[in-house]
């Protein structure tokens, strides 16, 4: 896509133009003329890209490709100039100089400018030739349709986060699926399957049933495993085993810093994962969901790893008809559930919900578009949703009519025009051909229109998702940081770049190009995903435009011209060599991990293959067993994002302080690392997630951009109370470990200065209870304490906590050993919605006051010594989820639970006596929970 290439080149020109005038002497006019030419081309290229996607004119395709190549050449010339100039600056400083640039008459500077000037003249000449060719070959520019520039709608729309997966038209299939999963007549392990064409709603149907109260009550273990491209059987087994283990253990104590061998980098080589999975599932009724086509050999491995003990366990396969052949002889097997396309009525209902939420299309237009939506989408849910995403931002009726005309099949266009001429309030009927369907090209046409309709900046953001692993949730914070590092996010007065990036993500969700997976209580997106078909579209478009080259580890034969490389593999040997020189490379994203725990699976790389990539801006690598970074990393001065989740690094080179443009440093591992003092003077730092020793006294630089500081531990913090974070007053998220009483003064001084802090995690042997009374933390939303607090009854001034912590919504306390007074303080917090007390209370009796915890939505208690738990009649009125873990001494459940009408789920883990008390008919506590839809018991 040439549009993104020109956008990038223009951004690079703007960066250079912003430099001081002495640098641009004799070059500035050429740079500005280049910018003007690129801006003119930018206005033409959007239409040309749209026509290129239709593949109706080979001349247009050639013109677009040539324009893109010249834009890349311009970016290379400007990047090379900036790189060489910065190297000269570093050499000058190393020699004792302090100027950014040599004096204007310096021969080196003259040569540098002369070289850039010559390259720009050549580029402008090529652009002139390409423009002449456009005229010579009659490549005409057609104006973009009016709807393509519309940014707002006059209609009342559903909110961006009210676009959940509506299961319109799937109730019949949902009932069939539940009947097969819960069938007591078949005690043997049985295979249930959902089969059908792509985009028909198979995963949506399965997820609805998977999360239903009946299924959650019936199965002790439920796992969901998407199958990525070319996955190995061992990886599938590990993913299932990891989820099962998490459900059985619920949570490992985070106060323990020991990493189990099977979780360490390498995934426990030599261990029989099949045997481990078998033992985990033995004696338990389980539901294993496999989302994707599975090979017959992998299916045989899975069957052998799952016990069949006659307890009604099930395996649910979500696949296409071809995938069903793999399970043809798998023991008890039910008839496949085969969803069909939606009827015209259900098509419009899904469309209406996606566009208007609880509202509806104005009555005078409803019949006008009722048939159009079905004619265009043919009842295919993904097509309906994407079309709704396009029309959500369009004005009724003119822009809607134009979009419909663009998408309506040619054979139906005349009929459509006739209907519109005589349209009134009356509806029309069309016979539904359940088995028929629009060809794949019609769905591609809808996706192309949705992509064309995106603003310039969102096109790059969407295509970047092609570098993410398919069928997997994407962490929103990581994605936004990458967008910022790539330069896709535009500054906006009054907002941070991350806040603007969140708005971009919400707009993509609103346009139905991206699916919302999770968000927090304050509306920030936590995770997103992309439908497989849209992900494939993004990869095809990104590959065609040379925006991202995607490979698995078996075919990394990227050409020397590759600019962004994504290596996403779940099918790899433990030794992979990435040795090709990539001189044009700007970004590399590699994911060699498997499973949700991110085990490393690749050995034998020292990042030497990146030495020739002097223009690198983004390095994001997971899964390499990496012990140290090469010292040459310091010469990659363009790097904005450096993410290495590659086991435990042993040391960092001192040259890391040379990365003067670094914004995000994300390092995995738990081994404490020393970092050069120069690192803390990098003014562009925004996010540091690394096991660094944090020096005492104020950090050396003016870190006004620093927002995230995780994984650090104090080093040299004296008892004098000096503020180690005095120069990082804009921090939003802070996590510190290895704290002791000796650090209390410095820590409190730091907290006093962090007025913008939203998330805080403290870990150590002595934690200050004053985190609830420090006046500055009024914006704090999330607090996690791991270790004993220094005032178990509560801090001085605890009675004011409700006033100075108005935004605190999540509190998680582990091994804090607080007393009743501390809990009474927590009960007064006005917006607390989630509370975890994990080995955190010192006493056998716990009381929640009469009107305490009014906003609490989720409560998790792991209190082995707790005997009596009293809850006031009006306490926790909005509680939805209650989890009790290993509270084996608890005599009975609180009577107040019987009156909690909002309670949806109760989980009892390791409490066999309490399970007996809640049994229907004979349990003394059954009346307290009989109204709860989901009750899970885990031993």
Distances (CA, A) of 643 to 208, 285, 624: 35, 40, 12
Q: Read off the pLDDT of residues 589-608 as tens digits, 9 standing for 90 and up.
A: 988 775 544 455 455 456 77
Q: Read off the pLDDT of residues 851-906 as tens digits, 9 standing for 90 and up.
A: 899 999 999 999 999 999 999 999 999 999 999 999 999 999 999 999 999 999 99
Work out the average pLDDT over 58-75.
81
CA gap 584, 925 in Å, rounded: 68
* Residues 6 or more apart in contact with residue 18 via CB below 8 angstroms: none
pLDDT of residue 268: 45
Q: Of 4-13, 151-160, 274-283, 783-792, which gets the smallest average pLDDT?
A: 151-160
In sequence order, what are the beta bridge partners of 243?
A: none
pLDDT of residue 611: 80
pLDDT of residue 269: 44
* Residues 6 or more apart in contact with residue 601 via CB below 8 angstroms: 266, 267, 572, 574, 592, 593, 594, 623
CA gap 294, 307 in Å, rounded: 19
Nearest by Cα to 194 from 180, 211, 183: 180
Nearest by Cα to 27 from 115, 101, 107: 115
Q: Read off the pLDDT of residues 684-726 as tens digits, 9 standing for 90 and up.
A: 999 999 999 888 766 666 788 999 999 999 988 876 657 888 8
Q: Of 73-82, 390-399, 412-421, 646-655, which gets the smallest average pLDDT?
A: 412-421
CA gap 937, 96 in Å, rounded: 70
Q: Read off the pLDDT of residues 345-394 as tens digits, 9 standing for 90 and up.
A: 999 999 998 898 878 888 888 888 888 999 999 999 999 999 999 998 88
pLDDT of residue 92: 58
Q: Is the pLDDT of residue 523 over 60?
A: yes
pTM: 0.87
Q: Is the pLDDT of residue 472 over 50?
A: yes
Helix axes 363-377, 410-421, angle to 10 degrees: 170
Work out the average pLDDT over 27-55.
70
Q: How confident is the model at residue 260 (pLDDT cuts 50, 70, 90)?
A: very low
Work out the average pLDDT over 613-630.
86
Work out the average pLDDT over 498-507.
95
- Confirm if 508 and 489 have CB atoms less than 8 A apart: no
Residue 182, burial from CB neighbour count under 10 angstroms (0-12, 13-18, 19+): middle
Q: Retrieve residue 333's tokens.
A: 């097997």
Q: Read off the pLDDT of residues 112-135 as tens digits, 9 standing for 90 and up.
A: 777 777 888 888 888 888 778 777
Q: Is the pLDDT of residue 307 over 80?
A: yes
Distances (CA, A) of 932 to 174, 873, 876, 912, 925: 22, 17, 15, 19, 13
Q: Of 97-101, 153-157, 840-844, which gets the smallest average pLDDT?
A: 97-101
Helix axes 273-281, 296-305, angle to 10 degrees: 50
- Confirm if 837 and 861 have CB atoms less than 8 A apart: yes
Q: Read off the pLDDT of residues 148-171 as tens digits, 9 standing for 90 and up.
A: 545 444 445 556 666 555 678 899
Q: Is the pLDDT of residue 211 over 90?
A: yes
Q: How confident is the model at residue 557 (pLDDT cuts 50, 70, 90)?
A: low
Helix axes 532-544, 440-452, angle to 10 degrees: 70
Q: Which helix (H) or strand (E) holds 4?
A: helix 2-17
Q: Read off the pLDDT of residues 173-209 as tens digits, 9 standing for 90 and up.
A: 999 999 999 999 999 999 999 999 888 999 999 999 9
Q: Is the pLDDT of residue 257 over 50?
A: no
Residue 126, burial from CB neighbour count under 10 angstroms (0-12, 13-18, 19+): middle
């Amino acid at each position: 896509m040439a549009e993104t290439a020109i956008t990038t080149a223009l951004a690079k020109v703007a960066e250079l133009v912003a430099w001081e005038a002495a640098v641009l002497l004799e070059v500035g006019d050429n740079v500005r003329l280049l910018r003007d030419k690129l801006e003119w081309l930018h206005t033409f290229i959007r239409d040309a890209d749209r026509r290129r996607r239709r593949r109706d004119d080979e001349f247009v395709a050639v013109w677009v490709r040539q324009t893109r190549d010249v834009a890349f050449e311009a970016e290379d010339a400007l990047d090379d100039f900036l790189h060489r100039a910065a190297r000269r600056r570093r050499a000058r400083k190393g020699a004792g100089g302090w100027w950014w640039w040599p004096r204007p008459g310096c021969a080196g500077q003259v040569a540098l400018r002369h070289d850039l000037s010559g390259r720009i003249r050549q580029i402008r000449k090529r652009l002139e030739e390409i423009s002449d060719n456009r005229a010579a070959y009659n490549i005409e520019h057609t104006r973009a349709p009016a709807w393509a520039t519309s940014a707002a709608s006059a209609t009342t729309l559903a909110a961006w986060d009210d676009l959940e997966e509506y299961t319109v038209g799937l109730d019949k299939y949902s009932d069939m699926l539940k009947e097969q999963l819960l069938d007591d007549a078949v005690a043997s392990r049985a295979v249930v399957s959902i089969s059908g064409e792509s985009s028909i709603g198979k995963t949506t149907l399965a997820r609805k049933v998977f999360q239903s109260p009946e299924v959650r009550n019936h199965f002790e273990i439920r796992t969901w495993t998407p199958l990525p491209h070319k996955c190995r059987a061992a990886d599938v087994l590990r993913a299932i085993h990891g989820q099962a283990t998490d459900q059985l253990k619920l949570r490992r104590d985070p106060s323990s810093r020991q990493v189990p061998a099977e979780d360490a980098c390498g995934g426990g080589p030599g261990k029989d994962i099949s045997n481990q999975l078998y033992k985990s599932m033995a004696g338990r009724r389980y539901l294993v969901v496999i989302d994707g086509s599975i090979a017959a050999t992998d299916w045989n491995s899975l069957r052998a790893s799952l016990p069949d003990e006659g307890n009604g366990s099930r395996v649910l396969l979500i696949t296409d008809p071809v995938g069903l052949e793999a399970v043809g002889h798998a023991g008890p097997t039910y008839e496949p559930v085969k969803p069909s396309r939606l009827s015209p009525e259900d098509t419009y209902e899904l469309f209406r919900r996606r566009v208007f939420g609880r509202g509806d299309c104005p009555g005078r237009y409803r019949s006008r578009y009722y048939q159009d939506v079905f004619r265009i989408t043919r009842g295919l849910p993904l097509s309906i949703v994407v079309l709704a995403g396009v029309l959500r931002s369009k004005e009724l009726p003119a822009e809607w009519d134009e979009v419909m005309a663009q998408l309506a099949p040619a054979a139906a266009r005349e009929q459509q025009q006739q209907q519109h001429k005589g349209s009134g309030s009356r509806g029309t009927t069309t016979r539904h051909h359940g088995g028929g369907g629009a060809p794949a090209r019609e769905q591609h046409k809808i996706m192309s229109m949705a992509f064309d309709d995106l603003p310039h900046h969102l096109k790059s953001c969407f295509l970047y998702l092609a570098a993410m692993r398919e069928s997997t949730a994407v962490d929103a914070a990581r994605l936004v940081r990458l967008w910022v590092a790539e330069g896709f996010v535009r500054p906006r007065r009054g907002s941070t770049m991350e806040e603007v990036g969140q708005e971009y993500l919400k707009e993509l969700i609103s346009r139905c190009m991206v699916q919302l997976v999770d968000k927090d209580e304050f509306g920030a997106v936590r995770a997103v995903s992309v439908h497989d078909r849209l992900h494939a579209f993004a990869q095809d478009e990104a590959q065609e435009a040379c925006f991202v080259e995607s490979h698995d580890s078996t075919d990394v034969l990227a050409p020397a011209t590759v600019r962004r490389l994504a290596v996403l593999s779940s099918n790899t040997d433990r030794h992979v060599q990435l040795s090709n020189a990539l001189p044009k490379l700007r970004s590399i994203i590699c994911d060699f991990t498997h499973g949700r725990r991110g085990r490393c699976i690749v050995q034998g790389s020292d990042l030497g293959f990146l030495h020739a990539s002097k223009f690198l801006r983004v390095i994001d690598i997971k899964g390499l067993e990496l012990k140290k970074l090469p010292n040459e990393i310091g010469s990659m001065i363009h790097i904005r994002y450096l993410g290495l989740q590659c086991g435990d690094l042993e040391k960092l080179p001192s040259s890391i302080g040379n990365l003067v443009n670094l914004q995000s440093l994300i390092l995995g591992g738990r081994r404490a690392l020393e970092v050069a003092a120069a690192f803390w003077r990098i003014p562009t730092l925004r996010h540091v997630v690394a096991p660094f020793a944090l020096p005492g006294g104020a950090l050396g630089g003016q870190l006004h951009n620093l927002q995230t500081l995780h994984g650090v531990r104090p080093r040299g913090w004296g008892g004098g109370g000096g503020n180690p974070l005095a120069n990082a007053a804009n921090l939003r998220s802070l996590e510190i470990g290895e704290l002791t009483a000796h650090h209390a003064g410095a820590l409190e001084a730091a907290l006093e200065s962090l007025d913008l802090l939203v998330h805080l995690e403290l870990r150590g042997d002595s934690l200050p209870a004053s985190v609830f009374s420090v006046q500055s933390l009024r914006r704090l939303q999330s607090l996690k304490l791991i270790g004993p607090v220094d005032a178990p009854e509560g801090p001085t001034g605890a009675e004011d906590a409700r006033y100075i912590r108005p935004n605190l919504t999540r509190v998680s306390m582990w091994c804090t050993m607080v007393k009743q007074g501390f809990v009474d303080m927590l009960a007064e917090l006005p917006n607390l919605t989630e509370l975890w007390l994990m080995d955190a209370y010192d006493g056998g009796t716990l009381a929640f006051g009469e009107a305490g915890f009014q906003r609490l939505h989720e409560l998790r208690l792991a209190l082995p010594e707790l005997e009596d738990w009293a809850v006031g009649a009006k306490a926790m009125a909005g509680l939805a989820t209650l989890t009790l873990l290993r509270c084996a001494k608890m005599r009975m459940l609180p009577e107040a639970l019987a009156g909690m009408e909002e309670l949806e789920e109760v989980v009892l883990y390791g409490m066999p006596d309490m399970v007996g008390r809640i049994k229907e008919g004979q349990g003394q506590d059954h009346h307290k929970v009989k109204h709860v839809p989901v009750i899970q018991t885990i031993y």
